Structure 1
Amino acid sequence: MTAEPARSAGRMRASDADREAVVEQLREAAAEGRIDLEELDERLGLALTAKTHAELAPLTDDLGPAVLDPGEPLTLKGGIHGAQRTGRWKVPPRILAYGGLGGVRLDFARAECRLREIEVEVDAQMAGVVLVVPVGWKADTDALDLGFGGLKDKTSGERLPGTPVLRVTGSCGAGGVVIRYPNLRERRKQRKELSR
């Protein structure tokens, strides 16, 4: 009786996101030398044509779990002096941002991100929260409470294939939430760092 749910789960149709996750895991395994290029090619072909979860599962069974434990969320508290995450940093699946009196700034422009979705829970409080995203990233703010500060989304709202979606939830508080692309100064600084 207990085998029936597992059997039916395997028969479930695979989505594009399911296939993409397997392809990404296979590419990482090849980069780490766990499978050779010939095997990578073979497995990629099977992954891209898989129709069910049962067809995808054997392609990565010997490589470890496809979904890693997300662990603790990244928590930033603005407090009095503010908090920020900029430059090169690894983006976790879940981020908590509390604006406080100093505000929080999350700059994803040079961040390392292999996720398709990132949950950002905000409590903008007095000083607000600023999210700086690369062109092509999309922010979903449908579940965000606008509060007194409101939301200023200065992005186009268009998502490029293969880029993440930020699911922004929580409250804009009094300070508000701003979502924007890198400004001119930030782009210049980034170009300068890349040219070193």
Structure 2
Amino acid sequence: MTAELPEPSPRPVPSGELRASHDDREAVVEQLRDAAAEGRIDLDELDSRLEQALTSKTYAELAVLTADLPKSPSAAAAAENLPPLVLKGGMYGASRGPGRWEVPGRVIAHAGVGGVSLDFTRVECRLTEVVVEAYGETSGVTIVIPDGWATDTTGMDPGFGGLKDKTTPDRLPGTPLIRLTGSGGMAGVVIRHPNKRERRKLDGNA
């Protein structure tokens, strides 16, 4: 009797092939209109790219439309001038997101006893880099970043709690890099992409 071979596990979907939301398309449309106003693309090309943006289904299709365009200098400068966002878990915990929130160039998270959660999945970030200074302390820090964003954890001290980096290196053009610093402390720091439950909520709110 021949033993049955196990079925192969499903192939992970590359981040560029993930489905784009209405908000993703609108963000690209806004960037294209800004580029036309600055004289970077002419009106005919604007019309062509807008049509493609509104019918794009994946992140990769959208990324192609803005790959040759710089970030809006005014928007990036405004974000860089924002004061650091400081979150302190204290006794009861603290969180930012999911939802729309303005991302500064630096975020500082002290987990304390209650822990801290940072969710970037619904933000519109025009910065090329965001520094997240995380301290796991007693209850840990969890950071969730969108598919297509990447992270650099070389400046992080894992401490006793450790660092769990569950992100992929597949950074899409025009997306920010999360530069993670700080210490894992006793409970550790986790940085990852959305899990299955979070993806369902994102798809449902698209």
Q: What TM-score do you get using the length of structure 2 for normalisation?
A: 0.64
RMSD: 3.1
Structure 1: unaligned runs, 5 residues or longer: 1-26, 43-47, 49-59
Which residues of structure 2 form unaligned runs of 5+?
1-29, 43-67
Quote the offset at 1:28 in angstroms.
5.8
Match of 1:57 in 2: none
Alpha-carbon shift at residue 67 of structure 1 (Å): 2.9
Identical columns (%): 50
Runs of 4+ in structure 1 deviating by more than 6 angstroms, as ranges, are: 63-66
The 3-state SS of whatever aligns with 2:122 is coil
Residue 130 of structure 1 and its aligned partner are, at CA, apart by 0.6
**Deviations, residues 32-77 of structure 1 (Å, cap 9, x unaligned):** 9xx747x3437xxxxx7xxxxxxxxxxx9xx969734523101111
Are 1:77 and 2:97 matched, yes or no? no
The structure showing larger relative contact order (alpha-carbon pairs under 8 Å, at least 6 residues apart) is: 2
Q: Contact 1:30–1:40 at 8 Å: present in 2 too?
A: no
Q: Is this contact kept in 1: 2:75–2:126, CA < 8 A?
A: no
Once the two structures are superposed, what CA deviation does each residue of 1:63-119 show, in whole Å capped at 9, x if it has no partner? Answer: 969734523101111111111111111211110100011111111111121111001
- 1:187 equivalent among 199, 202, 206: 199
CA distance in 1, matches of 2:100, 2:74: 27
The structure 1 residue matched to 2:124, chosen from 112, 121, 130, is 112
Read off the aligned partner of 2:93 and give its amino acid letter: G
The CA distance in 2 between the partners of 1:94 and 1:148, in whole Å, is 24
2:85, 2:104 within 8 Å by CA — same for their partners in 1? yes
Do the aligned partners of 2:135 and 2:189 also contact (CA within 8 Å) in 1?
A: no
TM (norm. structure 1) is 0.67
